[in-house]
Every structure is written in structure tokens, then in C-alpha cells.
């Protein structure tokens, strides 16, 4: 029933590859990272290459990316010419690194693009700018104010999203866990957490 260790490691390595590829990184990156993480030991490019059956170039390129995401680090050994690689051990830390990096690369440029686009529109007619969207009764798609309202709603949403990420990044693991518990506890009580907690301030 019990597979040998390598077998278990291999399964895990593949699963992790799948999970992270859903997540915007690529499969090989996930596999390398998983291998380093699960063995817990510094490995050389050669070892990774052999264990994962992938080419030298592939290993090299993906290790480089992993380092740029901050989830793998290089290690040197005196009198040894090879470089060794180790995974960041704390899941919380690498997850944050990945989130931070993705936000920078992917969300922020889009937010700017949105603002630029919005700037192309004539300024809102006074009276048309109710805070959220004023859903037009049965408006045609040709009213600039309607368009503007929609765009702004969308931008607002992306900004809230971005803000949420920001918040998340500032949390320590401990605080995050506590927050989770708190929210879990509050939820069947009608989930007016925010109101209550704010009141307390």
C-alpha cells in the first residue's frame, strides 16, 4: 500500500505543477519549486534536470523565473563550483511574493490603462454623477454619461480588488489566521462583522 518516498514526491511534484499553472505560473516552475520544497535540500541544476526529466535549458530558465518571483534562492558552497538551489520554506512568504509580483506586473498597468481611457470621455454632465451607477431606464448605448458611469463602476471595482490585495499583503500570517477565525465565528451571526468591529473603534 505505501509507495516509496520517491513515488510520493513525484506525485506531489506533479500536483503542485498543476496547481500553480492554474495560478499563472507555468507547470515546470511549479514542479521545480515543489521538488526543492519537498526534498528540503539544496539541489543543483543537474539533479533537478535528471529528476524531472527536463532539459538543461528549461531548468535554467525556470530557475531564473522562480528566483525573480522570490520563491527559490541560490546557495553557494565553498570550494564547489556548482550552484545549489533551495525553495523558500515558508508558504506564506512565497505566496505573498507571487501575489505582490503579479499585482505589479498585471493589475497595476491595467488600472492605468483604465484611467487613460476614462480621460478620453467628455466630463460628466452635472447631475449625472450619482456615486455608483445610475442604471439608465432603457438608455441607448450612445449616451456618453451612461458609458462613463459604466466605466467608472468597473474601474471602481478593479480598485477595490487592488485594495484588497494590498490589505492582504500587509498581514502577517498570524493576523490573517486570526482574522479568518473571527470571520468564521461572525458569519452565522449575520455577518455584520465590519459594522460591529468598526463601532468598537
Partner DNA sequence: ATTTGCTTTCAGAAGGTATTGAAATTTGGT
Partner DNA sequence: ACCAAATTTCAATACCTTCTGAAAGCAAAT
Candidate list 40, 57, 130, 137; residue touching DNA; CB under 7 A: 57
CA dihedral 94, 97, 98, 104 (to 10 degrees): 180
For residue 3, give the 3-state DSSP assignment.
coil
The number of C-alpha atoms within 13 Å of 98 and in the hemisphere containing its C-beta is: 20
The reply to whether 69 sits near its own copies by the rule CB under 8 A is: no
Separation CA 199–CA 78 (nearest Å): 59
The reply to whether 28 sits near DNA by the rule CB under 7 A is: yes
The reply to whether 186 sits near DNA by the rule CB under 7 A is: no
Question: Which of the residues 95 through 154 are near its own copies (CB under 8 A)?
Answer: 95, 102, 106-107, 110, 113-114, 117, 120-122, 133, 135-136, 139-142, 144, 146-147, 150-151, 153-154
Which residue, 37 or 85, has its beta carbon nearer to DNA? 85
Binding-site partner at residue 28 among DNA, its own copies, none, CB < 5 to 8 Å by type? DNA
* Torsions phi, psi for 123 (to 5 deg): -60, 150
To its own copies, the closest distance from the beta carbon of 59 in angstroms equals: 18
Binding-site partner at residue 139 among its own copies, DNA, none, CB < 5 to 8 Å by type? its own copies
Site string (35-54) toward DNA, x via CB under 7 A: ---------xxx------xx
Number of residues that bind DNA (CB under 7 A): 23
Candidate list 61, 67, 124, 160; residue touching its own copies; CB under 8 A: 160
To DNA, the closest distance from the beta carbon of 10 in angstroms equals: 16
Question: Which of the residues 85 through 124 are near DNA (CB under 7 A)?
Answer: none
CB distance 87 to 33 below 8 Å: yes
To its own copies, the closest distance from the beta carbon of 64 in angstroms equals: 21
In Å, what is the CA distance from 27 to each residue of 10, 85, 166? 14, 18, 27
Strand residue runs (E) in 5-112: 43-44, 72-77, 80-87
Strand residue runs (E) in the chain: 43-44, 72-77, 80-87
Residue labelled with grid coordinates 543537474:
46
To DNA, the closest distance from the beta carbon of 36 in angstroms equals: 14
Amino acid at each position: 500500500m505505501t509507495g516509496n518516498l520517491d513515488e510520493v514526491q513525484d506525485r506531489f511534484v506533479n500536483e503542485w505543477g498543476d496547481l500553480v499553472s492554474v495560478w499563472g505560473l507555468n507547470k515546470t516552475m511549479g514542479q521545480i519549486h515543489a521538488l526543492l520544497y519537498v526534498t528540503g535540500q539544496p539541489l543543483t541544476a543537474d539533479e533537478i534536470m535528471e529528476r524531472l526529466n527536463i532539459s538543461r535549458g528549461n531548468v535554467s530558465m525556470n530557475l531564473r523565473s522562480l528566483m525573480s518571483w522570490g520563491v527559490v534562492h541560490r546557495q553557494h558552497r565553498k570550494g564547489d563550483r556548482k550552484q545549489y538551489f533551495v525553495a523558500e520554506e515558508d508558504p506564506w512568504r512565497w505566496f505573498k511574493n507571487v501575489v505582490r509580483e503579479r499585482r505589479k506586473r498585471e493589475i497595476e498597468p491595467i488600472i492605468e490603462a483604465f484611467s487613460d481611457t476614462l480621460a478620453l470621455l467628455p466630463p460628466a454632465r452635472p447631475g449625472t454623477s450619482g456615486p455608483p451607477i445610475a442604471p439608465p431606464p432603457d438608455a441607448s448605448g450612445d449616451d456618453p454619461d451612461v458609458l462613463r458611469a459604466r466605466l467608472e463602476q468597473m474601474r471602481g471595482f478593479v480598485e477595490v480588488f487592488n485594495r484588497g490585495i494590498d490589505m492582504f499583503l500587509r498581514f502577517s500570517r498570524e493576523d490573517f489566521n486570526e482574522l479568518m477565525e473571527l470571520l468564521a465565528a461572525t458569519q452565522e451571526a449575520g455577518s455584520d462583522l465590519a459594522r460591529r468591529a468598526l463601532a468598537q473603534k
